[in-house]
A and B are shown apart, each in its own frame.
Chain A
Amino acid sequence: MKSVKAILFSAMGLIFSQKAGSQNLTAAYKIDQVVKVPLNLEKSKEATINFTAYLFKKDRRYIYFEKPDYINTYPQGKISIQISEDKRGSYLLNMDTLQAINYCSYDSLLFRYRQDFLFKEAANIDRNISQLFEPDYYPWAFHNETKTINGLLCQKATLTMSGNLNYEVWFCKDIETSFNIDGIIGIPGLIVEATRFDDSKHFLLLNYTSTKAVADAVFWPNEFNEKFVLYPMLKKSKIKKEKSKLEKQTEISNNNQ
């Protein structure tokens, strides 16, 4: 009887540690982004570029970054379409091998992120940013909808900022993380699938593990050796919540039913 209790206790402990406080997390994502290659000044043709993204967690530190899969496919840094004998259209690609770098510490509630630009001389824009934040800063809307993605039960959430629907995400509460793809905070679980609407970017979890060790060096990429500029703290009390057109239409539609 004692041994049965011990097994049960161990099993419960394992479940608890998986759900409530895994110290490490390594997750990989596949990203598809639809881009538009111009055929003239008005018309364009869609093409898809891919990235592989990584999310690491160690204790209360997190980092996320994307690696473009297109570097070898388009070594000239552009997607080109021959329109006619004398006309061609091209889409410029960001050829940085590490992009969308987002770091976060929940001990100091500090963000570090790097803005991506097509070329180094891109005006006088701050490249590396650090910023304190409140964990519930972003006005996520949590929905009752659920779906199972690759065997993981996921809940839907959306983020609307300045009246525009920015993200739709599907997250799994059972995989504990406070920080997610693309530097997302405020989602109580690992994002399994997401869409970023303003540039047609789709994220899908490839795999994850909470048992693999994460090296400290991962949290300070070379790009972070450049100067950081401190931005003001993200305070929830200061944010304005505005609904997107889609949310307003849905609300009106629901009220009319």
Chain B
Amino acid sequence: MKKILIAALVIIPSAYAFSSTSFPHKVEVPTNFNPSKENVNEKKEGCTKTEYVTGGWAVKCKNGTLYRGTVTLGCSGYGETCEQATTNAWNCANAAVQSAIAAQAAQASHECSTIDDSVEP
């Protein structure tokens, strides 16, 4: 079976685009997304496809305030066939976005509880 050749380039925007300006807290790039070396196509031959993926998150604070955000990431996937490259690019971007969403939502949830002074414990 041919080795699956996946993501080579992960493009991470310098600042995440939040749909709401109500949540200005800085969110770090998720650490749990790290394309492993063996998935990188060293030869960079065949087909290249780039996929941009957007996903949103929402967290409700304990005081009832709802925070929402979106994140867009892109990946270039390489493959010996264009079908492989398409799949690889999508898988890479999807994984990156889901990871970023998880990190941002967790951060928002945490910030909610620390800044939330409008409810009693």
Give the residues in chain B near A92, CB-CB below 8 Å.
Answer: 53-56, 94, 97-98
Distance A78 CA – B106 CA, assembled complex (angstroms): 23
A-B contact pairs, 30 of them (CB 8 A): A35-B54, A40-B52, A40-B74, A41-B52, A41-B73, A78-B53, A87-B49, A87-B50, A87-B51, A88-B51, A91-B53, A91-B54, A91-B55, A92-B94, A115-B60, A116-B58, A118-B55, A123-B109, A125-B59, A125-B105, A131-B62, A199-B56, A232-B62, A232-B119, A232-B120, A233-B120, A234-B64, A234-B119, A238-B117, A239-B63
Residues in A208-257 with C-beta less than 8 Å from chain B: 231-235, 238-240
- Give how many B residues have a beta carbon under 8 Å from the other chain's beta carbons: 48
Known: A88-B51, A122-B105. A198 touches B74 (CB 8 A): no
Range class of the A interface residue count: 35 or more
Interface on A for B, CB 8 Å cutoff?
A: 35-41, 44, 78, 83, 86-92, 113, 115-119, 121-126, 129, 131, 137-138, 161-164, 166, 198-199, 231-235, 238-240
Asked if A90 and B57 sit within 8 Å, CB to CB, the answer is: no
Task: Please list the residues of chain B having a beta carbon within 8 angstroms of any beta carbon in chain A.
Answer: 11, 13, 19-22, 47-60, 62-66, 68, 70, 72-74, 86, 89-90, 93-94, 97-98, 101-103, 105-106, 109, 117-121
- Cα A90 to Cα B97 in complex, Å, equals 11
CA distance A238 to B117 in the complex (A): 8
Inter-chain CA distance A239–B119, complex, in Å, is 8
Task: List 5 other contacts, CB 8 Å, given A116-B58, A162-B65, A234-B64.
Answer: A40-B74, A88-B51, A90-B53, A118-B56, A198-B22
Of B20, B49, B63, B73, which contacts A198 at CB under 8 A? B20
Most buried by A among B11, B21, B63, B64: B64
CA distance A164 to B19 in the complex (A): 12
Question: Which residue on A lies nearest to B119, using beta carbons?
Answer: A232
- Among B59, B63, B86, chain A packs the most CB atoms within 10 A around the CB of B63
Which among A86, A89, A239 is the interface contact of B54 at CB below 8 angstroms?
A: A89
Asked whether, in the complex, the Cβ of B105 is within 8 Å of the Cβ of A162, the reply is no
Find out whether the CB atom of B60 lies under 8 angstroms from the CB atom of A137.
no
| CB-based contact A161/B52 at 8 Å | no
Known: A122-B105, A125-B109, A137-B64. A235 touches B55 (CB 8 A): no
A88 in contact with B70 given A113-B60, A123-B109 (CB within 8 Å): no
| B119, A233: Cβ atoms closer than 8 Å | yes
Determine whether the beta carbon of B21 is less than 8 Å from that of A164.
yes
Answer whether A89 and B106 are a contact pair too, CB < 8 Å, given A129-B60, A164-B21, A238-B119: no
| Highest count of chain A CB atoms <10 Å: which of B52, B105, B109 | B52
B119 CB, nearest partner CB in chain A, Å:
4
Q: Which residues of B contact A233 (CB under 8 A)?
A: 119-120
Q: Which 3 A-B pairs have the closest CB atoms?
A: A123-B106, A38-B52, A92-B55
* B51:A198 contact, CB within 8 angstroms: no
Contacts of A35 in B (CB 8 A): 54, 56
Smallest Cβ distance from A188 to chain B, in angstroms? 18
CA distance A133 to B21 in the complex (A): 27
